């Protein structure tokens, strides 16, 4: 499925990508072909936004990491569309 999408230059949905190991192309089924654990590498796990879902493939020992508590970043088009002074707290003098 992945090779077909690459050949046809079609993007797979993120939900579909989460269910397939990107190293050995095996199907990831919780408890059978993979193990998933929520890790928090912050000091003592005090930062709840630093939670990371770690999925480890049993076939190839490959690891995939997905952020759990963090909000998604804006798309690059929306991030770059703002003017340089917008959101920086700089007040420009009015000209009249």
pLDDT of residue 93: 60
Report helix, strand or coil for 60. coil
Confidence of residue 92 (pLDDT cuts 50, 70, 90): low
pLDDT of residue 68: 84
pLDDT of residue 89: 55
- In the sheet that holds 51-57, the strands lie side by side as 34-40, 51-57, 63-67
What is the CA angle 18-24-27, rounded to 5?
A: 45
Q: Taking a C-beta distance cutoff of 8 angstroms, is the pair 26, 20 a contact?
A: yes
| pLDDT higher than 80, residue 95 | no
Which structure tokens are listed for 33? 């072909």
pLDDT of residue 90: 56
Which structure tokens are listed for 18? 């989460």
Q: pLDDT (tens digit, 9 = 90+) per residue, 4-37?
A: 888 999 998 888 888 999 899 899 999 999 999 9
Cα 14 to Cα 87: distance, rounded to the nearest angstrom:
31
Q: pLDDT (tens digit, 9 = 90+) per residue, 28-78?
A: 999 999 999 998 888 887 887 788 999 999 999 999 998 887 777 888 888
Q: Taking a C-beta distance cutoff of 8 angstroms, is the pair 38, 49 a contact?
A: no
């Amino acid at each position: 499925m992945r090779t077909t999408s690459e050949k046809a230059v079609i993007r797979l949905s993120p939900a579909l990508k989460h269910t397939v190991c990107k190293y050995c192309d095996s199907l990831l089924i919780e408890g059978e072909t993979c193990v998933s654990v929520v890790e928090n590498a912050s000091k003592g796990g005090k930062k709840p936004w630093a939670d990371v879902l770690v999925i480890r493939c049993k076939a190839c020992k490959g690891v995939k990491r997905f952020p759990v508590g963090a909000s998604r970043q804006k798309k690059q088009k929306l991030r770059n569309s703002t003017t340089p002074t917008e959101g920086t707290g700089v007040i420009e003098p009015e000209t009249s």
